């Protein structure tokens, strides 16, 4: 990490630690979640989709029903309150799918903060609807035209803005990557997903699920739902990365499955890189997973074997996208569809292995409204 940002990172660490032990902060955040986000989010049993998952019972944690349509709001409201606590007036954010940008613009409107969102030019095209949403919410959206013009370059540009305006600006990073304290802090704001789910599952079926599944871009929705289950050794934790055209083709964003250890954006983790340590471009049909790094805690969970990571191709994700839409009346985000495709595979595998009923909990991290254009094009539906 550049020395110029050490002061701001220290300040953020302190603010986060103080907020953790400050009951008024926690009450304020919980009250916002109850009256604004719409928490707790419900769990839906997907009885018809179950058929495509080898008959496993499928439970969906409905983060798609949160205000702004994804899990991203959990972290954003937390960090936006921290921003006020630090006395800063301006937030900047990077966004891939636009969900984090929309959530940031929303929190800025709610709390009266100035908001600038950096978004790769390529992503402004595939997520045009979200660009318009951010603008309607009063945020400025800056298309990033360097490098691969996707999420990683948006992060670079946000870092450059931050180092220039750090005195009055908070960088509201949208996932569990980046320098310390971001991975821990963002996880802390998302662990409510797992806390709620664990209690809800016990209430619904009287036991824990056999496996918990989530898609992994930077890894925030996944760590959010995994965290409460870390000590439940009977529960498999499975992260689904974006396999793009297939990991073997090199055109993918499956960082743990197909990457190597390195340093990116101030974190030591798995990175898609060439032999010279130059970051390789990632590829995925889903803008939100199209990132050549991954949160360091996932790298750790992979290394100690507590969580498993697999890659789902674009085509597999789109099949699951379509099947969930038609069997349950829920159109998922394409990011989330990777987790659903994972459930189709894992459900069949586990059903065969144990011969008894298998229960899977899936983090339905977001809704697919933003993806209608991409999906229509993929399925050949004229617009």
Partner 1 sequence: MSLLEKSFELARAENRALLIGYLPAGFPTLDRSILAIKAMAEGGVDVIEVGLPYSDPVMDGPVIQQASEMALANGFKTRDVFKVVAASPAPTLVMSYWNPIERFGVAEFSENLKKAGGEGVITPDLTIEESQSWISSTDKEQLHRVYVVAPSTTDNRLAKVTKHCSGFIYAASLMGVTGARRDVSSAAQSLVERVKKVSNTPVCVGLGVSTGEQAREISKYADGVIVGSAFIKLILDSKSESEANLKVKSLATELAAAVRR
Ligand X SMILES: Cc1ncc(COP(=O)(O)O)c(C=O)c1O
Q: Exactly one of 41, 63, 70, 72 is catalytic; which is it?
A: 72
Interacting residue with partner 1 among 99, 104, 279, 284 (CB under 8 A): 279
User: Is 370 one of the catalytic residues?
Assistant: no
Question: In this structure, are residues 192 and 148 in contact, taking their beta carbons and an 8 Å threshold?
Answer: no
Check 41, 70, 284, 365 and give the catalytic one. 365
- Residues of 303-333 as b/e, b for ≥16 C-beta within 10 angstroms? eeeebbbbbbbbebbbbbbebbbeebebbbb
Regarding 136 and contact with partner 1 (CB under 8 A), the answer is no
The set of residues, in sequence order, having a beta carbon less than 8 Å from that of 187 and lying 6+ positions away, is 176, 220, 223, 224, 227, 295, 297
| Alpha-carbon distance values, 108 to 15, 113, 209, 278, 337 (Å) | 19, 5, 37, 35, 29
Residue number closest to ligand X, CB atom:
366
- Contact flags string 239-278 toward partner 1, x per CB under 8 A: -----------------------xxxxx----x-x-xxxx
Residue 124 structure tokens: 């402004």
Active-site residue (options: 94, 196, 241, 297): 94
Distance between CA atoms of residues 295 and 176, nearest Å: 5
Is residue 282 part of the contact set for partner 1 (CB under 8 A)? no
Residue 50 among the catalytic residues: no
Note if 284 is an active site residue: no
Check binding of 144 to ligand X (CB under 6 A). no
**Contacts of partner 1 in 150-189 (CB under 8 A):** 152-153, 156, 159-160, 163-167
When asked if residue 292 is in the footprint of ligand X (CB under 6 A), the reply is no
Q: Which does 365 bind (CB under 5 to 8 A by kind): ligand X, partner 1, none?
A: ligand X
If contact means CB under 5 to 8 A according to the sort of partner, which of partner 1, ligand X, none does residue 163 touch? partner 1
Rounded to whole angstroms, the Cα distance separating 304 from 233 reads: 13
Answer whether the bond into residue 40 is a cis peptide, omega within 30°. Answer: yes
Write the CB contacts of 238 (distance below 8 Å, at least 6 apart in sequence): 211, 212, 213, 214, 307, 308, 309, 310, 342, 346
Of partner 1, ligand X, none, which one sits near residue 100, judging by CB under 5 to 8 A according to partner kind?
Answer: ligand X
- Span near partner 1 by CB under 8 A; candidates 79-87, 146-154, 191-199, 352-360: 146-154
Closest Cα to residue 183, out of 92, 90, 65, 266? 266
Shortest Cβ 328–ligand X spacing (Å): 17
351 binds, among ligand X, partner 1, none (CB under 5 to 8 A by kind): none
Name beta bridge partners: 60.
44, 362
Residue 335 as a binder of ligand X (CB under 6 A): the answer is yes
Q: Which of residues 294-333 bind ligand X (CB under 6 A)?
A: 333
Q: List interacting residues with ligand X (CB under 6 A).
A: 70, 96-97, 99-100, 175, 215-222, 288-289, 333, 335-336, 365-366
Report, as residue numbers or ranges, the catalytic residues: 72, 94, 365
């Amino acid at each position: 990490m550049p020395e110029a940002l050490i002061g701001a990172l220290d300040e953020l660490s302190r603010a986060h630690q103080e907020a953790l032990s400050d009951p008024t902060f926690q009450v304020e955040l919980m009250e916002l979640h109850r009256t604004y986000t719409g928490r707790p989010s419900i769990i839906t049993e997907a009885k018809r989709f179950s058929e495509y998952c080898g008959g496993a019972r499928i439970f969906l944690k409905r983060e798609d029903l949160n205000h702004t349509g994804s899990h991203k709001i959990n972290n954003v409201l937390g960090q936006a309150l921290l921003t006020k606590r630090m006395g800063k007036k301006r937030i900047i954010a990077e966004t891939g799918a636009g969900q984090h940008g929309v959530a940031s613009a929303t929190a800025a409107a709610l709390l009266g903060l100035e908001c600038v969102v950096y978004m790769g030019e390529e992503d402004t095209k595939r997520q045009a609807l979200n660009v318009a949403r951010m603008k309607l919410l009063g945020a400025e959206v800056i298309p990033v035209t360097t490098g691969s013009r996707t999420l990683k370059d948006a992060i670079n540009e946000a870092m450059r803005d931050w180092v220039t305006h750090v005195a009055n600006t908070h960088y509201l990073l949208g996932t569990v990557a980046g320098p310390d304290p971001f991975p821990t802090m963002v996880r802390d704001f998302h662990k409510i997903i797992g806390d709620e789910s664990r209690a809800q599952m016990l209430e619904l079926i009287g036991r824990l699920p056999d496996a918990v599944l989530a898609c992994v871009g930077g890894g925030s929705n996944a760590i959010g739902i995994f965290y409460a289950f870390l000590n439940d050794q009977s529960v498999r934790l499975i992260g689904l990365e974006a396999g793009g055209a297939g990991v073997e083709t090199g055109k993918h964003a499956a960082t743990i499955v197909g990457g190597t250890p390195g340093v990116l954006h101030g974190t030591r983790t798995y990175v898609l890189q060439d032999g010279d340590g130059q970051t390789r471009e990632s590829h995925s049909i889903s803008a939100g997973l199209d990132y050549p790094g991954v949160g360091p805690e996932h790298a750790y969970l992979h290394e100690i074997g507590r969580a498993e990571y697999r890659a789902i191709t674009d085509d597999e994700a789109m099949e699951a996208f379509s099947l969930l839409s038609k069997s349950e009346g829920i159109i998922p985000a394409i990011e989330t569809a990777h987790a659903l495709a994972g459930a189709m595979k894992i459900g069949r595998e586990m059903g065969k292995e144990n011969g008894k009923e298998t229960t899977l909990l899936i983090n339905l991290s977001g809704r697919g409204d933003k993806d209608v254009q991409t999906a229509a094009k993929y399925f050949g539906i004229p617009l």
